[in-house]
Amino acid sequence: QKEVEQNSGPLSVPEGAIASLNCTYSDRVSQSFFWYRQYSGKSPELIMSIYSNGDKEDGRFTAQLNKASQYVSLLIRDSQPSDSATYLCAVKTGRRALTFGSGTRLQVQP
Amino acid sequence: SAVISQKPSRDICQRGTSLTIQCQVDSQVTMMFWYRQQPGQSLTLIATANQGSEATYESGFVIDKFPISRPNLTFSTLTVSNMSPEDSSIYLCSVGTMNTEAFFGQGTRLTVV
């Protein structure tokens, strides 16, 4: 079982719609969770972090965490073509470096 | 967030040679990491660069192949030794603290021919 799992996609949504990206993790003691956006040929860029159960909103982005279900999600409201990228879920456990999922490719259709 | 400068940004190398990648941070940071991202794949941690001591390597990565230096809290190097085409990847330096997110340099795109 992979430590951090994501659907590889592509996830295709029309412009203006809500994009929902999901991630599950295997280690129950993981304490910090992050979403990165990676454009093709670029390095990952942090867009959201979440540390406690519930929702965290930042502009058009909402991260959701459910530690009991070991589940993290990212919602992107009013999706724009510029949101088209690969979204990486990352999990931090203890002193270890981040563990990344394989990423979900999002395509926002104009 | 820290500003991370990584160089070279890209290189094409002959098999059997070595390439050293540099990572410079504009402030002292606790943790520095080196990741590899193979084409179409996610990030895989190579090692944690420890200041003043040997790096901590992940399973599947060894010091002879990927020697790492970290002489101080703002600088680290990763060498890819005796390269083969399978080493063609993007190599990424990242920095962070014990409990928080990681930030990435712009990456080094390596092609081995």
Residues 6+ apart with CB under 8 A from A63: A33, A35, A48, A49, A50, A55, A56, A72, A73, A74, A75
At residue B85, the 3 state secondary structure works out as: helix
Interface of B with A in 8-67 (CB under 8 A): 31, 33, 41-45, 48
Cis-peptide into B85, omega within 30 deg: no
> Are the CB atoms for B33 and B103 separated by under 8 Å?
no
Convert the pLDDT of each residue in A81-101 to its tens digit: 999 999 999 999 877 788 999
Partners of residue B95 in chain A, C-beta under 8 Å:
none
Which residue in the set B43, B100, B103 is minimally distant from A32, CB to CB?
A: B100
Q: Along the 113 residues of chain B, how does pLDDT read in single tens digits?
A: 678 999 999 999 999 999 999 999 998 887 899 999 998 888 999 999 988 889 999 999 999 999 999 999 999 999 999 999 999 999 999 998 766 678 899 999 999 99
* A21/A14 Cα distance (integer angstroms): 15
B105 close contact with A: CB closer than 8 A: yes
* B23/B86 Cα distance (integer angstroms): 23
* A79/A15 Cα distance (integer angstroms): 5
CA A100 to chain centre: 10
Residues 6+ apart with CB under 8 A from B36: B43, B44, B46, B89, B90, B91, B92
Contact check, Cβ <8 Å, A98/B42: no
Convert the pLDDT of each residue in A21-57 to its tens digit: 999 999 998 889 999 999 998 999 999 999 999 999 9
Q: How far is A51 from chain B (nearest CA, A)?
A: 9
Pick the residue from chain B with its C-alpha nearest to A33: B101
> What percent of chain A is helix, strand and coil (3-state, nearest 5)?
5, 55, 45
Cis-peptide into A10, omega within 30 deg: yes
Burial tier of A56 (Cβ tally within 10 Å: 0-12, 13-18, 19+): middle
Contact check, Cβ <8 Å, B98/A102: no
User: For chain A, what is the largest distance between any 2 Cα atoms, rounded to a whole number of angstroms?
Assistant: 42
